Structure 1
Amino acid sequence: CSRLEHPSILRVVEAAQVDHTVHWLPIDHRGRVDPGELERWLGVIPQPALVVIQWVNHETGVIQPVQDVVRIAHAHGAVVHVDAVQGVGKLDGRPWCDADTVTVSAHKIRGPKGIGALLGAACQGLRPLLLGGPQERKLRPGTVSVPLAVGFGVAASWASSSPSRYDAVRVLRDHLEDEMTKLGARRNGEEPRAPHVTNVSFEDMRGDELVSAFDVEGVCLSGGSACSAGSPEASSVVSAMLGAQRGAGAVRASLGEETGEDELSRAIEAIRRVIGRARGHG
C-alpha cells in the first residue's frame, strides 16, 4: 500500500497495523508508485499477503501502473485489490481486470449515492464485517435497496458506453490549469492523468483559506479528496509526493461532462479575483 490511497482504504490499512505488518511503498515526485520498488520489497517480504493499488488518484488524477503492479504481485503469490473508483467511466480499458478484487462506486459515474460494487473471484473467501442475513452473497447483511441497485446498473451501462466523451473535459481541464499557472500555481502530478481532475499549489498561500475564498465566489474547490471538503488539513497526497509546504498550498478541482466553457470562464475570473486579493492586487 502507499500513502496515495483514498482515506476509505488508507484508514483501514492503518488500523490493520495493530495485527499485521504493513509495508508502505514510496511515492515519486510524479505522484506514482514504482513497480520496481514493489518487486524489490516483495522479494524480501516473507509470504506477502495483499497489495493494494488505486487506478486513478482521487486528488491529482495521476494514473497508477496497475497492470505492472498486478503482474508483479501475482508473481510473488500476493492477492491484489484495485480501487477503480476514479477511473471507471472516464478512461478506456480495464487494466485492473486481472486483479483479485476491484471496487467501484456508483456516485462517481453519475449513479445514486450509497451503493458500490466489489468485483472479483477472491470475494468468495471473504468474511463479512457485519453479521446477519445472507444478502449480497453473504458479504453484507440487510435488505437490498432495489432502487439503488437499478440506478447503479443503469449508470454503469451508460458509463461504459463511451469514455471518449471525456476528451472534451480534458481540454477544459488543461485550459483551467494554464490559467492558474499564469497566476503562479504549480501543478501537482504528472502524466499520465485522468481527464477530469487537476491539483495545483499556490506555495505562498494556504489551501484551506483559498478554498473558503473560492467558495464565497461560488467556485467549489477542495484541499484534498472530495469527501474531505471543508477540512482544514493539508493534502496528504501532495504532502507525500512533494513535501508539507506544497501540500499546504494545494487545491483540487474536478470537472464533469456538464461543465461548459461559460461556466469555466466564470470560475477562472473568480479565481483571478481571489488570488489578486490574496496578494494585495485587488
Structure 2
Amino acid sequence: MIEPVYLDYNATAPLCPEALAAMTAALAVTGNASSPHGFGRRARRLVEDAREQVASFVGARPEQLVFTGGGTEANNQALRAHGRPRVLVSAGEHASVLQAVPEVVRVPLRRDGVVSLAKLASLLAGDTAPAIVSLQLANNETGVIQPVAEAAALAREFGALVHCDAVQAAGKIPVDFALLGVDLMSLSAHKLGGPQGIGALVVADDVALQPFLLGGGQERGRRAGTENVAAIAGFGAAAAVVRQTLAHLEARRDAFEVELRGLAPSAVIFGAEAPRLPNTTCLALPGLTSESQLMALDLAGIAVSSGSACSSGKVAPSHVLGAMGASTEEAKAALRISTGWASGDSDYARFLEAWRPLAQRFPVTGSAVAKGAVTA
C-alpha cells in the first residue's frame, strides 16, 4: 500500500496532538460557558484560558480577542461591521475578503505578488470618504508576504482603518498585532494545527465594531451564540505549542526548488523574488494542467492543491496569479505545495518522484514567465 504524503497545509494542517487532547477533555465538560453555576464556570474557564493562549500567540490582550466560526467569518465581520463606506483591498486577497462587501476597490499587485503601496496611497488620496484597508499578511496560494506594517502606517496618514487577514501567516512566521499597527486581524485555528470551524478576530481598543451576529451577549456583545468550548480549547492548545516560525522548513523548500530547476527548467515558481512563507511553493509548467497533475499525484498518494481550497473542490484559474500578470496558460497549470509541523524529510522527495514522469512527458520550452516568478 502506498504511504500517503500530505503537502496541503495551506488548505488545512493536521490536528496537533495537544489540540486533540484539549478538545477531548473539553468535550467531557458539561455546561454552557454563559451559565453562572459551577458547570458553566468550568466551561468559561476553558474559553478564557484559550483566549489568553491565542492572544499571547499574536501579541494581543485577551480582551481584544473575539472568537468566531473561522477565518472567513472573522474577515466578514471586520469588513462589514465597521460602518465605513469605502473598502480598499489588495487584488490578491482571499475570496472571503474580496466578496465580503458588494463593492471593494482593488489595489493592484506588482508582478512579484506584493501589493503596490504607491497605488494604495494614490487611491486613498483620491477620495476623502472614511475608509478601511484590508491587506493579508501572507498569500494562501503563493506564500508571498505583504508589507502590512508599512501599509498600515500609510493608511493612518489618511485616517483609514486597517484590517489584516493573518490566517495563512500565523504559525508560519511571527505575528504581532501591536507591531503590525493594524486595527483588526483575522485568525483561523485549522491552518496551524487546531480544529476546523473556529477562528478569531483581534480588535484594537479604539475600534467600535458592530455585532456581526445578534441574539446574545457572548464575546462582550460582539458575536452572539453559545461558544464552541471544545473547538476554542483546541485553538488555544494549538496556539500554545505551534512554533512562531517554521524557518527549518525554508531550507527544505529551497533545496526542493533547486531540484525542480534541474528537473523542469521551463517551470515557473510564483513570487520567488519576494519574501514568502517558508513552507510554500506555487509552481507551474505551462501546458501541464492543474487537473492532470492533481489526478496523477493523488493516484500516487500525494496530496497537493491547485491554489485556494475554498471553492468546493473545483479547479479554476487563480485570480491571485492573474493579478500578478501570469498568463492564462500558467494560471491553469499552477500547483501549490505546502508543508507544516508534521511534514517529514522525505515528503518533497516523494513529490518529485511522482511529478518527474509528468514533467518528462511534457517538455516545455520558451514559456512566458511573469516578472516576479523565476524559471525552475
- Indicate whether the TM-score tops 0.5: yes
Question: 1:214–1:270: 8 Å Cα contact kept in structure 2?
Answer: yes
Counterpart position of 1:75: 157
Counterpart position of 2:98: 10
**Cα deviations across residues 166-185 of structure 1 (Å, max 9, x unaligned)?**
12211221222222333231
The percentage of aligned residue pairs carrying the same residue is: 38
Counterpart position of 1:103: 186
Aligned length: 271
Residue 192 and residue 206 in structure 1: after superposition, are their counterparts in 2 closer, same or farther (change >3 A)?
same
Give the one of 166, 181, 204 matched to 2:287: 204
The code of the aligned residue for 1:253 comes to I
Counterpart position of 1:87: 169
Mapping of residues 97-246 of structure 1, within 5 Å? 97-121=180-204, 125-159=208-242, 162-164=243-245, 166-181=246-261, 182-183=263-264, 184-189=266-271, 190-228=273-311, 230-243=313-326, 244-246=328-330
CA distance in structure 1 between the partners assigned to 2:301 and 2:233 by the alignment = 33
Q: CA deviation at 1:204?
A: 1.8
Matched, 1:251 2:335: yes
SS of 1:125 mapped into structure 2:
coil
SS of 1:226 mapped into structure 2:
coil
CA distance in structure 1 between the partners assigned to 2:189 and 2:175 by the alignment = 18
CA distance in structure 2 between the partners assigned to 1:204 and 1:27 by the alignment = 25
**Cα deviations across residues 142-168 of structure 1 (Å, max 9, x unaligned)?**
211111111111111223xx434x122
Question: 2:148–2:180: 8 Å Cα contact kept in structure 1?
Answer: no
CA distance in structure 1 between the partners assigned to 2:150 and 2:119 by the alignment = 11
Q: CA deviation at 1:124?
A: 5.6
Counterpart position of 1:39: 121
SS of 1:261 mapped into structure 2:
coil
Q: CA deviation at 1:257?
A: 2.4
Q: CA deviation at 1:188?
A: 0.6
Question: 1:169–1:257: 8 Å Cα contact kept in structure 2?
Answer: no
Q: CA deviation at 1:66?
A: 0.4
Q: CA deviation at 1:55?
A: 0.2
Q: CA deviation at 1:272?
A: 0.6
TM-score, normalised on structure 2? 0.68
**Cα deviations across residues 223-260 of structure 1 (Å, max 9, x unaligned)?**
11133473121122112212322211111110112212
Residue 148 and residue 123 in structure 1: after superposition, are their counterparts in 2 closer, same or farther (change >3 A)?
farther
Question: 2:189–2:195: 8 Å Cα contact kept in structure 1?
Answer: yes
SS of 2:281 mapped into structure 1:
strand
CA distance in structure 2 between the partners assigned to 1:173 and 1:87 by the alignment = 17
SS of 1:117 mapped into structure 2:
strand
Question: 1:4–1:237: 8 Å Cα contact kept in structure 2?
Answer: yes
Gaps of 5+ in 1: none
Larger RCO (CA within 8 A; separation ≥ 6): 2
Question: 1:29–1:241: 8 Å Cα contact kept in structure 2?
Answer: yes
The code of the aligned residue for 2:221 comes to K
Q: CA deviation at 1:270?
A: 0.5
Q: CA deviation at 1:136?
A: 1.7
TM-score, normalised on structure 1? 0.89
| Larger proportion of helix | 1
CA distance in structure 2 between the partners assigned to 1:92 and 1:241 by the alignment = 25
The code of the aligned residue for 2:154 comes to I
Residue 58 and residue 274 in structure 1: after superposition, are their counterparts in 2 closer, same or farther (change >3 A)?
same
The code of the aligned residue for 1:68 comes to E
SS of 1:68 mapped into structure 2:
helix
Q: CA deviation at 1:121?
A: 2.2
Question: 2:267–2:284: 8 Å Cα contact kept in structure 1?
Answer: yes
The code of the aligned residue for 1:191 comes to A
CA distance in structure 1 between the partners assigned to 2:354 and 2:253 by the alignment = 16
Residue 122 and residue 246 in structure 1: after superposition, are their counterparts in 2 closer, same or farther (change >3 A)?
farther
CA distance in structure 2 between the partners assigned to 1:220 and 1:278 by the alignment = 21
Residue 254 and residue 116 in structure 1: after superposition, are their counterparts in 2 closer, same or farther (change >3 A)?
same
